[in-house]
Amino acid sequence: MLSHQHKTPINKCLSLRSKLKYMIQTGFPYKNPLGSSSMEEIVDVTVDGNTIKVRKGASIQEVLEKLRVKYDGQLLVGLKIAKEQLMLETTSYAVETSKGTFILEIEKDNLKLWREILSNIKSLQVRWISSRDIGLGTFTISLKPRLEAREWEPWDVVVSAEGLEVDNTHIIIVRSRHSMTYALPQGLEKLGRISRGRGVISKLKVGDEILSIKPVITSKQLSKMATKLSVKDRITEPMEILTKIKVKLLDKSPIGAEHFMSAIDVNGLIISDSYSTFVRSDTLRRLSIPLESQARRLRGSVTVRVDGGNKGAIYIYKEACPSSPHHSVVGYVEAGMELLDLAEPGDKISVETEPRRLSLLGLTQAEASEILSIYGITHERIGSTRDEDIVVDQEPKLTFHIIKEGRVKTHGLPQSKILKVKLYYEQAPKTVWYFKALTGLLTHKVGKLKVYFADPMIGFVLFEGNKDLAGTLLPENTPKDKVKRLTIGVTNMSKKFVGLIGIRLTDSSEYGPTGEDFAGTNLIGEVVNGIEALKGVREGSTIYIMEA
């Protein structure tokens, strides 16, 4: 009886100690559905590079909440096999040089020796170039070299200890078919071949440096280790979870980089199509972007199509492709490519960019000052400069130009002077797209309209359109009985002035907001606030607008 009375408190004490230890290690409330207090139920989970300890059975939702990772319906991918293991198994290596990158494909039987050789390489540069081969050196090997003569094929890669000296070893790239004697390490004949980027090799000169040699995980390998996740899924083993991609943008493509940041600003990267070579997002398709940077498209390259039916569309490459005058390279994915490997049409991918976009439109002057101070950017307020006034324009307009100049000027307006509109996305999707593209609302939180004609006597205000952008604007959401005051309309292609925009100032049972009959009018929205902005407008006036 005494023994039993003592045993119970001790077990309770141990159980409490175990629970406390568990909660300290994981940060989760103690849950043990199996009735066991074993610490083996704790596993390591990495989310976007941050590792925490998690109990088996915890939901993905719990893990994200613990790390304060925002989930808004974006694609989640889990890597069930350690990436480090795949890197040990891969036969593809990216060799980055001062002239570009090429891919070295190692023969599978040579992987163990190659990893040993790679660990001994501290630095490499081009030592010689001949019509037969290129030598990259030098480094030391532990294997005894032996002379061997044989015929070599173009793009073969061998390791040779010149003069049979192990501390004078080179990686040799064969350029033409020839017979040659090389001092090959014991047990290693041909190391591998150059599979991609051969044009880079032809640009190399003596003295050019090899900047890095890194393993490449192919999309085929990744497909075996990666799987789509739901926030309801449970943790059953150690794993890596990806919630976003990280994109490094290029300062030599300032317009294209801003275009990309605009495309992902609100809803992330929306996948329109997915192929074996790339994924495409059509969020800003049809907008014109200049060719700023033509370069070879590597795995992870982010480009904008500059012409054709898909101009303005965003492409991210899963496999390397040659450079193209139709694509401007704007950046590179630095992390999270596995999300793109598994992405399907309709998926939404969260994106983090470097740098962060510095579009201040739609913020208050105070909010703009706060953001700019974080980045050490000088802020000059013009127009309405009170803290609560809204930024409707900025100079410079592009993020990279702001960073370069270290200063930005923001033009403010009182909220009452900004037209607030509600748009009919479901009833008139194509005409709403045109309206947002024309005004700038497609890429910014504040848009603007230029007054074409205004006369209080005619009952509506007309704004300039763009026939080329309007294109074949088919009839869509045409009026039926009456057009109410403050309704916004666009003239469709059945009329001469296609693309013209108008706002009705009075009700009408005969004419739309642009003065056309009902058949020639597409209704796209209504003014819900800021009607004061229309008072006293005349031809050439600029009206600033925001979505309510």
Mean pLDDT in order along the chain per 10 residues (548 residues)? 37 46 51 43 91 92 93 90 71 91 93 90 93 94 90 95 93 94 92 93 93 82 80 91 97 98 95 96 96 94 96 95 96 94 96 97 98 97 98 98 98 96 97 97 97 89 95 94 96 96 96 96 97 91 96
Pairing of strands 133-139, 145-152: unpaired
Q: What does the pLDDT read at residue 98?
A: 87
The SS3 call for residue 6 is helix
Q: Are residues 311 and 385 in the same domain?
A: no
Q: Are residues 426 and 538 in the same domain?
A: yes
- The DSSP result for 499-537, as a single string, is T-EEEESS-BSSB-TTS-BGGGEEEEEEEEE-GGGGTT-
Beta-carbon contacts of 489 under 8 Å, excluding residues fewer than 6 positions away, are 479, 483, 501, 502, 503, 504, 512, 513, 514, 521, 522, 523, 524
410 neighbors 381 (Cβ within 8 angstroms) = yes
**Token reading at 147:** 């002379």
Q: What does the pLDDT read at residue 37?
A: 44
- Of 232, 235, 241, the residue nearest 31 (C-alpha): 235
Residue 125 lies in a domain: yes
The SS3 call for residue 345 is coil
Residue 226 lies in a domain: no
Q: What domain range is 8 assigned to?
A: 2-85
Residue 440 lies in a domain: yes
Q: What does the pLDDT read at residue 220?
A: 66
Residue 237 lies in a domain: no
Q: Are residues 391 and 341 in the same domain?
A: no
- Which amino acid does the sequence have at 106? I
Q: What does the pLDDT read at residue 457?
A: 82
**Token reading at 94:** 């990216």
pLDDT tens sequence across 392-402: 999 999 999 99
Q: What does the pLDDT read at residue 90?
A: 87
Tell me whether the omega of the peptide bond preceding residue 456 falls within 30 degrees of 0, making it cis.
no
Q: What does the pLDDT read at residue 33?
A: 35
Q: What does the pLDDT read at residue 6?
A: 38
Residue 104 lies in a domain: yes
Q: Are residues 395 and 430 in the same domain?
A: no
pLDDT tens sequence across 290-318: 999 999 999 899 999 999 999 999 999 99
**Number of independent structural domains in the chain:** 5
Q: Are residues 427 and 446 in the same domain?
A: yes
45 neighbors 51 (Cβ within 8 angstroms) = yes
Buried b vs exposed e over 267-305: b needs ≥16 C-beta within 10 Å? Answer: ebbbbbebeeebbbbbbbbbbebebbbebbbbbbbbbbb
Q: Are residues 272 and 342 in the same domain?
A: yes
Q: Are residues 100 and 185 in the same domain?
A: yes
Q: Are residues 328 and 371 in the same domain?
A: no
| Final residue belonging to a domain, choices 85, 119, 154 | 85
Q: What residues does 393 pair with on adjacent strands?
A: 411
Q: Are residues 455 and 539 in the same domain?
A: yes
Pairing of strands 239-242, 42-47: parallel
260 neighbors 330 (Cβ within 8 angstroms) = yes
**Token reading at 404:** 């370069």
